[in-house]
Amino acid sequence: MNEILFVIGDVPVRAGVALIAFGALALILLVTIAIVIARSSRKGAEMAMAQAIRADELEERLSEVLRIQNEATGRVHEMGQALVGRQAEMARAVNERLDSVTHRVGQSMEQTTRNTMDSLRVLHERLGIIDSAHKNLTDLTTQVTTLRDVLANKQARGAFGQARMEAIVQDGMPKGSFAFQHTLSTGKRPDCVIFLPDQRPLCIDAKFPLEAVTALRDARSDDEKKFATQRLRQDVMKHVNDIADKYLIAGETQDTALMFVPSESVYAEIHDGFDDVIQKAYRARIVLVSPSLLMLAIQVMQQILKDARMRDAADQIRTEVMSMSDDLARLRERVLKLQNHFGQVNEDVRQILISADKIEKRAGRIEELDFSATEPPSEAAHVVAGGSDLFPPQIARKLQAGE
């Protein structure tokens, strides 16, 4: 056992040491093998456990997938049921909408038909109105033709202007303030006079020379227009001078007279194209008036008459006011007297109340008297003397005398 088997370096290796070393090496190898086997078994157990865990997880995931698949199948079934219901509702809604649209289209067509019938009826009525208007227009044309024939006649035209002037005056002036065909001191009779507050009449002439205006409108050449213009100036001024000579009487009529032009267009034409004629008429104290200006003048004269009546009534109003002042003074005196009477009545009532209070007090004192014992005569006499205010004077004297 002590034999040297080999030498390592300077150290000899004996057989016993070699056996011990070999045994130790074998032991270490066995231990290593055991450790390796243990580790291998542990790894296998861990792997088996991991595989079991993975199998459980896989089974759980498969169960979850099956559950999700079942839920998806249920949802798909529910969606199919809902889709069927929605399709049924949509079909019903579409049918209802179609019915509603059909009904509305029917109503619209009926309303359109009714409106068309109404429009046709209104159209027939309008055609009837148009026929009536055409007939009226025909009648108006006839009347205009007749009016033109009337205006062509000087006397008929004068009657037309007179009637229009009379209508304006009668509508605007009160009765008694105007007169037609009034005779002046010279024997002339103007078409209308209006009595102003100074009782001098304002004369109005309703005749107007229309032939020159018609000739001016019908003129075509310059010579015809010149001749018609000259004729119009002469005719108007001649009529102005005639009115001034006939109807302007100093001290009897107003200082101004009116020449009535029965047409607004004729008046405007004269006023625009013949200003010299208007100015000459003004200087002759003749004023040309159209129907609208005559109505305005009538309103002004009506206001003048109203103011004059108010001035005439001013004295009467002043007298009535003074009488009212006198009546008010007498009323004040009577109220003062009534106040004095009330004061006297109040004083009398106050005195009556004082006497009533005294009587009440004396009655109370009488009730307090005690007649069971004999009283001294002096007190009785005092009571009798004091009761003179309670009893009448005759009774009081009798009581004092012992009666």
% residues pLDDT > 70 (the chain)? 82
Long-range pairs for 189-193: beta carbons < 8 A, 24 or more residues apart: 190/246, 190/247, 190/257, 191/162, 191/165, 191/260, 192/165, 192/166, 193/253
Mean pLDDT for the stretch of residues 212-229? 77
Mean pLDDT of the chain, nearest integer: 77
Say which DSSP state 301 is in: H
Residue 255 has pLDDT above 80, yes or no: yes
Partnered with residue 7 across adjacent β-strands are 12
State the pLDDT confidence band at 370, using cuts at 50, 70 and 90.
Answer: low
Mean pLDDT for the stretch of residues 142-156? 52
Q: What is the rounded distance in angstroms from the CA atom of residue 172 to the CA atom of residue 204?
A: 15
Strand ranges (E), 77-208: 178-180, 192-195, 201-205
Amino acid at 172: G
Residue 386 has pLDDT above 50, yes or no: no
Helix axes of 211-218 and 264-273: crossing angle, nearest 10 degrees:
70
State the pLDDT confidence band at 399, using cuts at 50, 70 and 90.
Answer: very low
pLDDT tens, position by position, 222-241:
787 788 888 888 888 888 88
Domain ranges of the chain: 153-316, 372-403
C-beta separation of 200 from 252 below 8 A:
yes
Q: What is the pTM of this model?
A: 0.42
What token pair was written down for 30?
């066995």
Residue 380 has pLDDT above 50, yes or no: no
Is 187 strand, coil or helix? coil
Residue 101 has pLDDT above 70, yes or no: yes
Residue 155 has pLDDT above 60, yes or no: no
pLDDT tens, position by position, 292-347:
888 888 888 888 888 877 777 777 777 877 888 888 888 888 888 888 888 888 88
